[in-house]
Amino acid sequence: MRTAVVLSTLLSASLVAASPVQWPLGLLSKYQVWDNTQTAMDGYDIHEKRLVQFGENESPIWVSEWEKIKFKESGINFMDITDTQDLGFSLFSGDSKRLSAVTYPSPNSTVLVKKVIKSLSTEGPLENLQKFTSFTNRHYRSETGKQSQKWLLSKVDSLTKEYAPDSLLPFVSITEFPHKWGQNSIVAQIKGNSDELIIIGAHQDSTSFLPFLPAPGADDDGSGTVTILEAYRALISSGIRPQKTVEFHWYAAEEGGLLGSRELAQDYERRGALVYAMQHFDMTAWVKKGTQEVVGILTDYTDSSLRKFVTELVDEYLSIPWADTQCGYACSDHASWTQAGYPAMMAIESLFGDSNPNIHGSRDRLDISPEFSFTHMLEFSKLAVALVIELGFPKE
C-alpha cells in the first residue's frame, strides 16, 4: 500500500527485452537464492507473463512475475487482471441484476450495537495475531502462505463451534474459495432471510522483497484479519440471525495485484449477487507518534453513500474521530468490488501518510513499537460490528 513516483522508470525497464535477473548481494545463505538458471520455486515461475494495470484509464501491459515483485518493492500499486479481464462487464452489458442506487439509513440500532460492542476484546486479536505472524511469511505462493491460510480456516471454524449457539449454527457456513496458486480465500457466511449481501473483508497474505524472505505481516494485513475475526466472533455470539446475509471474507493474494478479491468479485458479478455493502479493513493497528488517533476513511475508489454512512457509524459508536484520506489506484481489495460496480469502502488505521512504515518486510511485527496498538484495532472491530448490525440485523 505504497505509491511511488518511479513508475515510469520501472515501466520503461519492464518493456526492455528479457535480460538476466540481477539479484541483490548479501542474502543470507539459509535462503535458497534464485539465479538465471533457476526460474521456479514451488512452481513459481518468475518469468511467467502477467497482464497488469496501473491506473483506471491506463492500458494494461504484459510484465513478468519478477517485474511484479519489483513494482511491489517500489510501492507501486497495480491490479493483475490476467484471469479477470471481464470484471465489471455487467456495468456495460445491461445484464446486471444487482442493486442500483443503494441508499443507507441513519444509525438506529443503538442498543443492540452497544451490547455486542461490549463483548469485544483485545485478548483474542492479540493471541490470534501472535500465531498468525509466527509463519515465516504468508506469501500466496509460499508453503507457509498455504499453511497460514489453513490455520486461519481452522480458527474461523473453531470460533464458530465455540461461540455460535445451536440455533444459529444451521445458518453458518465456512468455505474456501479455491485459487490455482494454492492459498485460498475464506468465506464465512451467516445466511439471512434475504439474498442481499453485506461483506466484511481483509486480506490474509503478506509479502517481502522476495517471496521466501520473512514477512510477518502484523499490520499488513494481519491486523485487519484479526480485527474482522473478532467482530465475527462477537456477532455470532449474539445468536441473532441477520435479515440480510452477512459474509466475512479473508482474501488471498492481495499483494500479487488483488488476485484473490478480483476472482471473488468476478464470481459474484457473474452470478448476479446482490451486494448491498462491502467494507474492507487493511491495516488497523498503527498510531504514529505525535498524531491524532483516527479512522482513515478512503475517499478514492469508494462509494460515496456508503462512505457517508460509515462516518456516521464512527461518530455514533467509536471513541475516536474519522478523517478523509486517499490511497490511490488498486491499493487494496475494496477496489475489486468497486470495479465490479458494487458499493465498497475501506477503513485504514490513519491518514495514509501516517500509516505504518514497516510493512512489506521483516519489521512488520506487532512488537516493533508502542505505535502498534491493539486498543486502536478494537475501534475497527467496533466499526465492523456496527455496520453489520445497522445494515443487516432485524430492527429493534
Q: How many helices and strands, by DSSP H and E, does the chain display?
A: 11, 13
In the set 254, 303, 349, 371, the catalytic residue is 254
In the set 65, 220, 269, 303, the catalytic residue is 220
Is 360 an active-site residue? yes
| 49-53 and 275-281 strand pairing | unpaired
DSSP string, 107-140: P--HHHHHHHHTT--SHHHHHHHHHHTTSSB--T
Spatial separation of the C-alpha atoms in residues 198 and 282, rounded to whole Å: 17
Q: What is the DSSP letter of 346?
A: E
Is pLDDT above 60 for 6? no
In the set 255, 263, 269, 303, the catalytic residue is 255
pLDDT tens per residue across span 312-359: 999 999 999 999 999 999 999 999 999 999 999 999 999 999 999 999
Share of the chain above pLDDT 90, in %: 82
In the set 65, 80, 196, 203, the catalytic residue is 203
Cα distances (Å, whole numbers) of residue 261 to 201, 265, 335, 340: 9, 6, 9, 11
Is 255 an active-site residue? yes
pTM for this structure? 0.91
Instruction: Please enumerate in sequence order all residues whose Cβ is within 8 A of that of 169, keeping only pairs 6 or more positions apart, or say none.
Output: 160, 161
**What angle separates helix 123-132 from helix 224-237, to the nearest 10 degrees?**
140
Cα distances (Å, whole numbers) of residue 81 to 95, 207, 313: 22, 19, 34
**What angle separates helix 7-14 from helix 65-73, to the nearest 10 degrees?**
170
pLDDT tens per residue across span 189-220: 999 999 999 999 999 999 997 777 999 999 99
Instruction: Please enumerate in sequence order all residues whose Cβ is within 8 A of that of 371, keeping only pairs 6 or more positions apart, or say none.
Output: 286, 287, 288, 289, 356
Is 254 an active-site residue? yes
In the set 179, 249, 280, 360, the catalytic residue is 360
Is 47 an active-site residue? no
Spatial separation of the C-alpha atoms in residues 206 and 361, rounded to whole Å: 9
**pLDDT-wise least confident of 2-16, 234-248, 294-308:** 2-16
Domains of the chain from N-terminus onward: 7-80 (no CATH), 94-392 (3.40.630.10)
**Phi/psi class of residue 187: alpha, beta or left (left: φ > 0; alpha: ψ in -120 to 50)?**
beta
Cell numbers at residue 330, please? 488498486
Is 42 an active-site residue? no
In the set 282, 333, 364, 379, the catalytic residue is 282
Is 282 an active-site residue? yes
3-state secondary structure 11-67: HHHHCCCCCCCCCCCCCCCCCCCCCCCCCEECCEECCCEEEEECCCCCCCEEEEHHH
The three-class DSSP label of residue 348 is strand
